[in-house]
Structure 1
Amino acid sequence: MHWISVIMFAVASNLDNLGIGLSFGMKRTRIPWLPNILIACITMIGTYFSMRMGEWLVQFISSDMANLSGALVIILIGIWTLWGSIRSSDSKEELEAPTLSEVLRNPIHADQDHNQVISWKESLALGLALTLNNIATGIGAGATGISALWTTVITGILSVLFIGVGSNVGRRMARTWFGRYSNVLAGILLCLIGLYEILI
């Protein structure tokens, strides 16, 4: 089993979570344990089923082609993530209560009632938004043969840790470069995972 790829994928999948935690922390918006765990559970479900879908798809092509295809998908998603972060660099924050579709496009708007606490209901939309960003990557990772079970477990653990740590650190920082560049780092890491899977 490719433990390096498992860990790198889990980290890449949760860089958005860390960035969200930092952003909420800087806004003094709390994410209690129950909502945090709910987000992790949704992330785990999305990761597991997307990777299983990737494993299912490889039944129709050779193992070498499956690994190459999965790696290329991960690289393309990494490039897309980088491009998306560049395009959204000039976006402005919404002041009014966001709709579900707006939360899915930008998870930082999950605090819909602006009470500076993410409720368990708001965490469902936040978890879904973060998970949707990782589905295509999960399919690509599954196609490369990375363990779906262990990737799911580690992704869930890191989700709780990254959001919790990010929130606590964010409350102590006026600004952070990581919150602004988490998408860039995630894109780079995904590209590295894809290259690693091609070269090994």
Structure 2
Amino acid sequence: MHILSSLLFSISANIDNFAVGIAYGIKKIKINILSNLLIAIISALGTFLSMSLGKAIIHFISAKTANILGSAILILLGLWFILEFFIKSYFQKKKKKNKLDNMIGEYKNILDNPELIDSDNSSCIDVKESILLAFALTINNLGVGIGASITGLNIFLTTIFTFIFSLLFIILGYLIGTSYLSKLFGKYASLISGAIIIFLGCYELFI
């Protein structure tokens, strides 16, 4: 079992959770234990389903081809996350975000501004609000899960790690939300995630 690869994937998959936790810490918006647990369950379920799809694809191609394909998917997705970071930074400087968002843009807006989830302004993310947040976080990692599975990562180990890191990263992010590190981690979440995914893709390609 590639324990290191599963750890790297789970860390990368939950970078956004970490950034969300930071955002909530800064704005003093609490995520109760039940909501955090629900987010972790949905994130883990999304990982399991996406990796199951990747496992199904393996049956139609050779092991060597599967490893190359999976690694390529991870590297390309990592590059996309990095490119997305620079594109987002560019347009944030040029103009304000367009309010006419489509469904994909809406979930991206949630990740960029997680406080929007707190629709009732209660300064606490309840169960209903946490479901929407969890799906926004999960959708962001579906492609990575498929690519990771094709390279041969253990689906059950990776799912468990994803669940654990989801819980921990939101709590950890919240705790440092008031520190000077919050802006650094929150701003560069996509860049860090992309770099980890590219490293994972290269690691799986050459081991």
Q: Structure 2 length as normaliser, TM-score?
A: 0.89
Structure 2 partner of 1:105: 108
Cα deviation, 1:140-166, whole Å, max 9, x if unaligned, reads: 011011001000001100000000111
1:168 correspondence with 2:175? yes
Runs of 4+ in 1 over 3 A off after TM superposition: 90-94, 98-103, 171-175
Aligned 8 A contact 1:44 1:155 in 2: yes
Map 1:181-192 to 2 at 5 A: 181-192=188-199
Pairs aligned (count): 198
5+ residue gaps in structure 2?
A: none
- Which stretch shows the higher mean deviation, 164-173 or 52-61? 164-173
Residue equivalent to 2:8: 8
Give CA-to-partner distance per residue, 1:113-149, whole Å, 9 cap, x none.
3332111111001000000000000000110110010
For residue 130 of structure 2, give the secondary structure of its aligned residue in structure 1: helix
SS at match of 2:177: helix
Per-residue deviation, 1:175: 4.7
Is the 2:48–2:159 Cα contact (8 Å) retained in structure 1? yes
CA contact (8 A) 1:81 1:184 kept: yes
> What stretches of structure 1 of length at least 5 have no aligned partner?
none
In the alignment, is the contact (CA less than 8 A) between 1:103 and 1:125 conserved in 2? no
Q: How far apart are the structure 2 equivalents of 1:165 and 1:130?
A: 17
Deviation of the 1:85 alpha carbon: 1.4
Q: What is the DSSP-based 3-state SS (H/G/I as helix, E as strand, rest coil) of the residue aligned with 2:41?
A: helix
Give the distance between the partners of 1:184 and 1:15, measured in 2 at CA: 10
